[in-house]
Structure 1
Amino acid sequence: MALSAYRLALSLAGAAICSTLGASHSAQAATCIGNCGHNFGTADGVIVPAPGSFGEYDWVSTQGGLDGAAGIAGYDTSATNGSELLSDIFFAAVGQIVSFNFNYVTSDGSQFADYGFAQLINTTTSEVYELFNARTVPDGAIIPGRDLPPVVATLSPAVVSINPGAPTWSPLGDSSGDCYGPGCGYTGWVASTFTVPTEGSYQLRFGAANWLDAAYDSGLAFSGLLLDGATIGDGSSFENPLLPQEIGPNGEFQFEFTATPNQTVFVDPYITTGYDFEVQSGQLILSAIFPELGDANGYDVFSLTDLVNPLGTGIMGGSLFSFGSGVSGFALRGIDPSLALDPANVGAFVTGLTFDISGPTTIQLTQTPVTEFSAAVPETSTWAMMILGLGLMGATLRRRSAVRAVAVA
């Protein structure tokens, strides 16, 4: 789901970190090193719109890349420059499936064995899963990449040869439409699926690198980043919500991102029958808009310190509820559990919040669920930046959706 909201601590010398995946994206939750971008579903030379995701895809290119970027540990002795993109961190349970599509494009050839890859990184254990790789070679299969780490994802097709010829694709810059020698071309879209083996916090890493020299560029397009069918996104829309990075000690999902005035950020939690919203960073919540779910009784809003005397009752979905000069938190009750919305529906419960801010502001907000059941959850991690907690406490009736946090000056 496009992205520079949390910042991953990277020690790449001289690395330029740039926001990526389209300037119109409102959430910034990925890190780009080098040259990254976003295509909004239009054909671009040999790259046709991606499967699903309205044809949109993200990309990295060695054109304009940085020295030392997109290395594969132990396999990058002759890599020169490149670009890489790290997704937002997300929590995944054992057995969940990470899936996406990719397309490798190269104008190089002969002995200049440029490559592209995707890795899944367990940010807790630092274990790296090589999901796929592709490599420029003068003949034979280009996927999996020759003399690169074995891949662990299931690929469809499993083995791919190059569609030969000088590829035209704008991210290649001056190399678009050029070809050094045998091996130039593109793979076409390839599907990748991988079953998560260990519960934890994960991050996807995509990269493309030049080999032996920095001439005749290559790149990687990728799309449809999904976890069990839910988009691993940038928070820019209902279709691209941020997924949680961790589960906290009270069952809350934890997110990291930076909000700016008039920015809408969509996150994807599991929900139950109520929530406690609380700002931890000192700002005040000015108003809230709750979703229209067909509940004739509406919602009830309370102070966090007084759950007996409501601030408002029967608040209907879609109507603006004002907190006057602002509150540091509130309790929402009255979500009808009988609705039993589909946990895979990312638009099931959208809440809009406005904050009393005058410029780009890091907001620490927790949203703790009210549930009828409890379950063991992992220990929380220490976060260096903003945390948005959205709860998951074990329950048989769970609803999952996107929550909208809107920072308004």
Structure 2
Amino acid sequence: MKITRTPLIALSLSGALVLPTAQAANISLSNNTWTASGAAGLIYGDNTVNNSPTGNAQFGYVSTSGGVYGVSSLVLRDEGRGTENQTNGSKIQSNAFSANANDTLTLQFNYISTDGRGYDDYAWARLVNADTHNTAAWLFTARSTNSANGNVVPGNVLNRQVDNNLPDELDAVLNDGNTIGFAAAGTSWIPLGGSSGICWDNANTCGPTGWIKSAYSFTATGSYFLEFGVINWGDEAFDTALAFDFGGLQQVNFSGVAIMPPPSTVPLPGGFLLMSLGMGLVSAISRRSKFAGQS
């Protein structure tokens, strides 16, 4: 006689049926595809932005260098500093994926800027409801303007939103709730374009923050997608970038983005770097005069 196994359904003490519940899981993004607007790519770690704790050979980035307009999901106040609003930037977005309540998502971010002091470049990462396109959770924010006093991450980005009805705090836990330091270093990094190797104001701490873990637990079952981005503020000089990584990141899932070779095969910049540095210094002098005239 053939015996067929069927799932067990338990009875509670009250006699009510107790149905099996779904187990919480770690969300895998290994099969997700990504679409970029502006400047984005995959790159290997180097002395400025090293490989993340995931152990992946490559990680992703978005940069304001080569960015486009209209990519930010945030509208921020200028706080009367005399500077203009956000200008160009870039973002990258995943395709939709399903998640259950209590599932977890772990991401790694590293924010690097050559800007600051009133020119508030910022970065964001958010989880978006794929059905409504509303923000389901803020996963990461950073802002270059506060680097002098160490508040780069989260950088007071969300509480500067014009819409006061939106949440003004992160929903994810950064670095397991531990203090976030700042890995002050150089700014020589290819995604920063002509700003690579320079800093707008040495009173600010230009350079990378170091890798910061963002951990989020889903509050509701649904369909979602991810969006990471970075924006210039006030002008398009002195660029900023956001590196990102996660378990299972694969080159094949990123279409139409720049693929940077390993550092050992990158040709020496030579005259190009000197030219870029010269242009950056001219821009710095011009902008410093403009800022001084407003103060």
* 8 Å Cα contact 1:142-1:161 kept in structure 2: no
1 CA distance for matches of 2:132 and 2:231?
Answer: 26
Kept in 2: contact 1:71–1:79 (CA 8 A):
no
Shift of 1:165: 4.7
Matched, 1:204 2:236: no
Aligned-pair distance for 1:45? 3.8
Partner of 1:214: 236
Q: Which residue of 2 aligns with 1:119?
A: 126
* Residue-by-residue CA offset, 1:88-127 (whole Å, 9 max, x unaligned): 2111111110111110000112111111111000112333
Matched, 1:90 2:97: yes
Partner of 1:63: 65
User: Contact between 1:61 and 1:220, CA under 8 Å: does it hold in 2?
Assistant: yes
Deviates more, 1:154-163 or 1:134-143: 154-163
Distance 2:154 2:42 in 1: 25
Give 1:28 shift.
Answer: 8.5
CA distance in 2: counterparts of 1:188 and 1:142, whole angstroms: 11
Q: What does the per-residue CA deviation read over 1:26-72, in whole Å, with 9 as the maximum and x for residues that have no partner?
A: x8832100000002xx3334101121242321100000001222341
- Residue in 2 that maps onto 1:146: 156
Q: Tell me the CA shift for residue 185 of structure 1.
A: 1.5
1:78 equivalent to 2:85? Answer: yes
The 5-angstrom pairing of residues 389-404 of structure 1 reads none
Aligned residues between the structures: 205
Q: Residue 29 of structure 1 contacts residue 234 of structure 1 at CA under 8 Å; is this kept in 2?
A: no
- 1:176 corresponding residue in structure 2: 196
What are the equivalent positions in structure 2 for 1:223-234 lying under 5 Å apart? 223-224=245-246, 231=248
3-state SS of paired residue (1:174): helix
User: Aligned letter for 2:140?
Assistant: F
Shift of the 235–175 alpha-carbon distance from structure 1 to 2, 3 Å rule, reads closer
5+ residue gaps, structure 2: 1-30, 79-83, 159-167, 256-295
**AA paired with 1:170?**
I
Contact 1:88 1:234 in 2 (8 A): no
Counterpart Cα distance in 1 of 2:251 and 2:238: 35
SS of 2:149 mapped into structure 1: coil
RMSD: 2.5
Equivalent residues in 2 for 1:179-328 (5 A)? 179-181=199-201, 182-224=204-246, 231=248, 236=252
State yes or no: 1:130 paired with 2:138. Answer: yes
Deviation at 1:140, TM superposition (A): 2.4
Compute the TM-score of the two structures, normalised by the length of structure 2.
0.63
TM-score (norm 1): 0.46
Higher relative contact order (Cα pairs below 8 Å, separated by 6+ residues): 2
Aligned-partner Cα distance in 2 for 1:169–1:96:
35
Q: Which amino acid aligns with 1:59?
A: Y
Inter-partner Cα distance in structure 2 for 1:28 and 1:194: 18
Secondary structure of the residue that 1:143 maps to in structure 2? Answer: coil
Question: Alpha carbons of 1:30 and 1:201: their partners in 2 closer, same or farther (altered >3 Å)?
Answer: same
Q: Percent identity?
A: 34
Q: Select the structure that is richer in strand.
A: 1
The letter for the 2-side match of 1:167 is T
In 2, Cα distance between equivalents of 1:145 and 1:58:
22
8 Å CA contact 2:41–2:62 kept in 1: the answer is: yes
Separation in 1, partners of 2:51, 2:195:
21
Tell me which residue corresponds to 1:155. 174
Q: Which amino acid aligns with 1:194?
A: Y
Please give the alpha-carbon distance, in whole angstroms, between the structure 1 residues aligned to 2:47 and 2:196. Answer: 9
CA distance in 1, matches of 2:117, 2:180: 18
Deviation string 1:12-39 (CA, Å, 9 cap, x unpaired) is xxxxxxxxxxxxxxx8832100000002
Q: Is the 8 A contact 1:68 1:79 kept in 2?
A: no
Amino acid at match of 2:51: P
- Note closer, same or farther for the CA distance 1:79–1:30 as it changes in structure 2 (3 Å cut): same
**Contact preservation (8 Å) 1:141, 1:160:** no
Correspondence for 1:43: 45
1:171 partner SS = helix
Alpha carbons of 1:48 and 1:165: their partners in 2 closer, same or farther (altered >3 Å)?
closer
User: 1:156-205, CA deviations, whole angstroms, 9 ceiling, x for partnerless residues?
Assistant: 06443433354111100111111001131210001111011111111010
Amino acid across the alignment from 2:174: L
Contact 1:35–1:64 (Cα < 8 Å) also in 2: yes
The 1:191/1:34 distance shift into structure 2, 3 A limit, reads same
Partner SS for 1:67: coil
Question: Is the aligned partner of 1:32 residue 2:36?
Answer: yes
